[in-house]
Amino acid sequence: MYTKQDLISDLRAMGLKPTDAVMMHSSMKAIGAVEGGADTVLDALMEYFAPGLLMLPTHTWAQMNAQYNVFDPAKEPSNLGLLPNMFRQRAGVVRSLHPTHSIAAYGPDAAAYVAGEEKSRTPCAPEGCWGRLREIGAKILLVGVTHARNTYIHAVEEMLDVPERLAEQPEDYYVIAPDGTKLYTPQNRHYNAKEPHVSDHFDKLMDGYFETGAAMRGKLGDAPCILCDTEALYQVTAKVLAHEINCFLDRDEIPAAWWRE
């Protein structure tokens, strides 16, 4: 059974620093048996990254729709599992005001980082929380999951204007601000006529990310981890998509030569 110190040692062994900005996608089940359970996992993360910026996605895209379109960040659960839902309720954690792709953040600059997210009009706008991960030099930590759950790659697609990713017409959404104000936040949601879950294809670049050093392997408890550099991930993806902008969907495999050039 893993302890808090075991988990902190795993974070350190991956080369992560307490001052890093880290976005973590996770599977609690994959981490295995931990003394104190999910609370201990969050204790380890929040203690280790206290001087930095710890972020977990708290998405609500699965339940928000044209009929259920008022997002209250203080109450609405995330559709991404146990750790994000526990994390968003912890003292000192702030949640962004994006109606479908919110994040929860902890650290000295957390409130400043999530500020203004209600102005985003797409899921992963370049100027929003997801797009600015590259700007702040953040790391992506995938714990027991793969790039199929790496929301940042959606942000890269938005930066590169990949076609057929967003609905042509916006849907009406509203967000309840901390002061109780109801804010209008229309969204052009993720949409592709042929593939409802584009991210399921992101693992086609798994080998490319590892080979180029954009990603490396690690572990947290029993969970295999993938630690990614946001700038390198952007550069590799941009290089590959320059050959064929829709290759995630249009090809069964992506030629290794495209990322090796």
Give 29's contacts (C-beta < 8 A, 6+ positions apart). Answer: 144
For the entire predicted model, the pTM comes to 0.97
C-alpha dihedral sign at 251, 235, 168, 202: positive
pLDDT in tens, 166-206: 999 999 999 999 999 999 999 999 999 999 999 999 999 99
What is the β-pairing status of strands 174-176 and 70-71? Answer: parallel
Domain count of the fold of the chain: 1
pLDDT by residue for the chain (261 residues), tens only, comes to: 999 999 999 999 999 999 999 999 999 999 999 999 999 999 999 999 999 999 999 999 999 999 999 999 999 999 999 999 999 999 999 999 999 999 999 999 999 999 999 999 999 999 999 999 999 999 999 999 999 999 999 999 999 999 999 999 999 999 999 999 999 999 999 999 999 999 999 999 999 999 999 999 999 999 999 999 999 999 999 999 999 999 999 999 999 999 998
Nearest Cα to 155, choosing from 171, 177, 135, 169? 135
Residue 19 CB neighbour total at 10 angstroms: 11
Nearest Cα to 12, choosing from 49, 56, 43? 49
pLDDT in tens, 61-86: 999 999 999 999 999 999 999 999 99
Longest CA–CA span in the chain (Å) reads 53
Is 205 within 8 Å of 240 (Cβ atoms)? yes
Whole-angstrom distance, CA of residue 176 vs CA of residue 99: 9
Backbone φ and ψ of 62, nearest 5°: -70, -30
Nearest Cα to 73, choosing from 118, 36, 34, 108? 118
Whole-angstrom distance, CA of residue 218 vs CA of residue 175: 37
Q: Bridge-partner residues for 84, per DSSP?
A: none
Using the 8-state DSSP alphabet, how is residue 144 labeled? Answer: S
Whole-angstrom distance, CA of residue 172 vs CA of residue 182: 13
Look up the domain containing 251 and give its range: 4-260
Using the 8-state DSSP alphabet, how is residue 115 labeled? Answer: T
Residue 146 CB neighbour total at 10 angstroms: 15
